[in-house]
Chain A
Amino acid sequence: MNSLLSAGLILILGFVGARLLKLVRLPNVTAFLIVGMLIGPHMLNLVTPEIFTASEFFSNLVLGIIAFSLGENFRFDKMRQGVKQVMWISIIAALGAWILVSTALIIYFITIDMPIYPAIVLGAAASATAPAATVLVIREYRASGMLTELLLKVVAIDDAWCLIFAAMAIAVGNAMRADVFQMSIVFAGLGEIFGALLVGGILGYISSKLSRFIRTREELLIYTLGLVLFNVGISIALEVSVLLSSMMMGLVMVNMARENYKFFEVLRSVDTPLFLAFFIISGAHLDFSILYKMGIAGVLYVVFRTIGKVYGAKLGAKLSDAPKAAGDWLGLSLTPQAGVALGIGLVAKTTFPDLGNYIFTIIAATSVVFELVGPLLTKYSLTKAGEIVSTE
């Protein structure tokens, strides 16, 4: 098995798997993840180590592309009144998941005589969503309408809230563990957000200005891909949020010139194989045996995160006078959870030597559940809201 053969199998089996699982009406994202699990190291082992090594590079590129495209949804001339709704819904849905998960876990941890700070960190992780899966479901079923538009904006910005919450949670967790509240952790979290907005904003501005040197469509593609990679690379080097900086870059570019839609359009024409490979490789990383380690805490996390998102979105919609369908269905479509939450898990692992591993395991295990079930719920709620016309 060489890496080229492995790459070919990933693409072809991903396509075949998606077609087959379409027969039982599974969304492509879920199908890719399942194919990934089948060919991953825990089962058929058709993915070479080289591809695993490259998968970090690759997933950063794909997340960069997705976040960049999400920025396209924030055209100022089109969203005067939408801002309030997006803000309220995203904040309260994220907050709802945090508060409910934390409360439930605090009670549980008290009853089993465990320190309670992991509950606060886990709650913060619960506020994260996974834009990639959501975007893919929307695209696959050509969903469109008020809910879809709102959803695309909410998944784009709620990572910002999640990052703030996570920074606060880790600072609080540290304070409870070591009796020192380090304000610097909170500032670092804020820095990660504002740094990202700054990086993405500056790059977006410069590259929109420089884009007049593009002559052909081929050059446009090279330029756009290069730009996304460059931005991701800088964000990683400066340790700011890759998702937010990419989103910001898209946002700035879409608002700078009318013809800038071309950047997003050219990416859409090529990103399908990238997304497919991304989810297959994510699936290959999924380890089912971790589900056994989830325990009661994991179950509580899954249940209360879902409730928190659903009712948080409902409350947010009510407070911002959003249409009723938005309040009814938006929360459920926010259930996918993946990389952002895992990132918080990783930070917890390094920050808390004693219980960090426990936190990480629960996040990883619940991510397996939400990655597989989340897309189904997103599809379900968009269908219920009448924004997916045909599921064929």
Chain B
Amino acid sequence: MGTSDFVSNFVLGVIAFALGSNFKIGSMKKAGKPVLWISILEAGFAWLLVTLVMIVYFLAKQMPIHPALVLGAAAAATAPAATVMVIREYRASGPVTEMLMRVVAIDDAWCLVFSALAIAAANALSAGVFSIGVLMEAFLEIFAALMLGGMLAVLLYFLLRFIVNREEILVIIVGVIFLAVGLSMRLGLSPLLTNIALGIIVANIAKNSELYFETLRQIDMVFFLAFFVLVGANLEVSIIPRIGFMGLLYMAFRVIGKFIGVKLGALISKAGSNVGNYLGWGLVPQAGVALGVALSAKALYPRFGEIIFTTITATTVLYELIGPLAAKYGLKKAGEI
């Protein structure tokens, strides 16, 4: 594992942990329903639309259609890091911002479920057997990540009783986030979900949890900066021309799917028109989770995995560049910057 992997995994852990703080039970009683509706629908529609378009495209090209399912599932994911950075930098605040932070936190869970479903379905298409096992594994992975996060939250809470000064809060929080990421990787779980669970439970069981999250906020900008500079240094801009017609379709329909899903979700859950109109902009960034899906697809389908992988990496490069601008635009339009 290189240094930049080390930094980026840790930073994603920090971001996910911080996102967990948005899920306090008190505030979730009111906001729970819209968050679920919006996140499921935006992820679901991105999946559906991209898959449909890709199926049409592959049919027209007379290629097998099962890679379409996986591409669609990857489209469901969003990248919390860039969105959170934009929110922080412009000190955005308001209902759209709050909802956005919650949605980017949990839609990765849906993405994991969808990609497991997609891989199972694609397997069924190519080999004629639908294995329920893959799906069960995905649920198990989510469940295990939540459990691990919960256990580490208890450890964190316990250790925090022994601190003697504020500086030691930092030692423990950073240490537990490292443990959460490291153990998740070791056990083959999603580090993002583990850390979100960790953050959620800490936010809900610790009395002065705000102090803990605040302590971390004081230093995390250093890591974020290093993280995005490393991401930038690793971006292969030369891959953009290989994006092709397929990649453009993917990009367009992923965004359209997200916008439709957000609008519909906001309508059903009565989250207000501001949320429905502008939250989708914050969901444009795409990064690690989608790449993870692409990597497993590459391993599963030696023949078509390559196309999936190239498409997703190329679109990710573009999304990384456009995403933050889109998030800023949406929040500005919503009047929260």
Which residues of chain A have a CB within 8 Å of any CB of chain B? 1-12, 14-16, 19, 50, 54, 217-219, 221-222, 225, 268-273, 276
Cα distance A2–B181 in the bound complex, in angstroms:
10
Cα distance A61–B207 in the bound complex, in angstroms:
35
Interface status of B10 (Cβ within 8 A of chain A): yes
| Contact A272–B3 (Cβ < 8 Å) | no
| Contact B1–A50 (Cβ < 8 Å) | yes
Cα distance A16–B221 in the bound complex, in angstroms:
27
Interface status of B256 (Cβ within 8 A of chain A): no
Q: A14-B171, A270-B219, A276-B171 are in contact. List 9 more A-B contacts (CB 8 A).
A: A4-B6, A8-B180, A12-B172, A15-B171, A50-B1, A50-B6, A269-B167, A270-B218, A272-B168
Interface status of B183 (Cβ within 8 A of chain A): yes
Cα distance A276–B3 in the bound complex, in angstroms:
20
Cβ distance B136 to chain A, nearest Cβ, rounded Å: 26
| Contact A218–B218 (Cβ < 8 Å) | yes
Q: A7 to chain B: which residues have CB within 8 Å?
A: 6, 10, 175, 178, 182
| Contact B186–A2 (Cβ < 8 Å) | yes
Q: B176 to chain A: which residues have CB within 8 Å?
A: 8, 12
Q: A8 to chain B: which residues have CB within 8 Å?
A: 175-183
| Contact B182–A4 (Cβ < 8 Å) | yes
Q: A4 to chain B: which residues have CB within 8 Å?
A: 6, 9-10, 13, 178, 181-182, 185
Q: A1 to chain B: which residues have CB within 8 Å?
A: 186
Interface status of B162 (Cβ within 8 A of chain A): yes
Interface status of B225 (Cβ within 8 A of chain A): yes
Q: What residue in chain A is nearest B171 (Cβ atoms)?
A: A273
* Cross-interface CB contact of B175 among A12, A218, A270, cutoff 8 Å: A12
| Contact A11–B172 (Cβ < 8 Å) | yes
Q: B13 to chain A: which residues have CB within 8 Å?
A: 4
* Cross-interface CB contact of B174 among A5, A6, A19, A273, cutoff 8 Å: A273
Residue in B166, B170, B181, B183 whose Cβ sees the most chain A Cβ within 10 Å: B170
| Contact A12–B179 (Cβ < 8 Å) | yes
Rank and list the top 8 A-B pairs by shortest CB-CB distance, nearest first: A5-B182, A11-B175, A8-B178, A8-B179, A4-B182, A272-B167, A218-B221, A12-B175
Q: B299 to chain A: which residues have CB within 8 Å?
A: none
| Contact A217–B171 (Cβ < 8 Å) | no
Q: B181 to chain A: which residues have CB within 8 Å?
A: 4-5, 8
